[in-house]
């Protein structure tokens, strides 16, 4: 049985490897240094600004929402939603270029938490790729979409990073 895995090598970076069985029930890793991975990791999601006015909270996101950034984003948005000052939370995706299924799980969890606390959760500014994922997963109809707004200037808002 052949298995392929990844090996972190100090000289070559992340290398594809093959696990080869040996006679003494040990496993030997063989690296292929000519298949060096050279691409840099993509930037992750950032929370650009938060604006609270009379019970309405708006959060602007940018970048990529992936399995690496979604846990911190989840915590931030749940804390924001549970704030007594926040009666309605709107998350703007106008600068989000990519979202994976872990990001969808965060959205569904936020929607459930909002309904349990009798608060409103809305989304806005969905681009083609995030919208497509929500449509194909048949989740888009669960969310209330509103029109996108420009984020406030830096001196009017508190900035926070999800990473």
User: What pLDDT band is residue 7 in, cutting at 50, 70 and 90?
Assistant: very low
Where do you find CATH 3.30.750.24 in the chain? 46-156
Is the pLDDT at 2 greater than 90? The verdict is no
Class of domain 46-156: alpha beta
pLDDT digits (tens, 9 = 90+) for 72-87: 999 999 999 998 889 9
pLDDT digits (tens, 9 = 90+) for 103-146: 999 999 999 999 999 999 999 999 888 899 989 999 999 998 88
Q: Which residues contact 88 (CB under 8 A, 6 or more apart)?
A: 55, 56, 57, 119, 120, 121, 122
Three-state SS annotation for the chain: CCEEEEEEECCCEEEEEEEEECCCCCEEEEECHHHCCCCCCCCCCEEEEEEEECCEEEEEEEEEECCCCHHHHHHHHHHHHHCCCCCEEEEEEEEEEEECHHHHHHHHHHHHHHHHCCCEEEEECCCHHHHHHHHHCCCHHHCEEECCCCCCCHHHCECCCCC
pLDDT at 88: 93
User: What pLDDT band is residue 17 in, cutting at 50, 70 and 90?
Assistant: very low
């Amino acid at each position: 049985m052949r298995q392929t895995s990844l090996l972190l090598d100090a000289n070559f970076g992340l290398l594809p490897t093959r696990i080869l069985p040996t006679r003494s029930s040990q496993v030997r890793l063989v690296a292929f240094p000519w298949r060096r991975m050279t691409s840099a990791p993509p930037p992750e999601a950032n929370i650009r600004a938060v604006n609270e006015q009379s019970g309405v909270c708006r959060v602007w996101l940018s970048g990529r929402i992936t399995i690496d950034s979604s846990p911190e984003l989840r915590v931030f948005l749940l804390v924001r939603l549970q704030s007594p000052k926040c009666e309605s939370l709107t998350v703007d995706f106008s600068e989000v270029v990519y979202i994976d299924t872990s990001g969808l799980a965060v959205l569904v969890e936020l929607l459930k938490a909002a309904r349990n606390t009798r608060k409103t959760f809305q989304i806005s500014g969905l681009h083609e790729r995030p919208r497509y994922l929500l449509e194909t997963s048949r989740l888009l109809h669960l969310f209330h979409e509103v029109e996108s707004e420009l984020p406030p200037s830096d001196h009017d808002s508190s900035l926070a990073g999800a990473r």
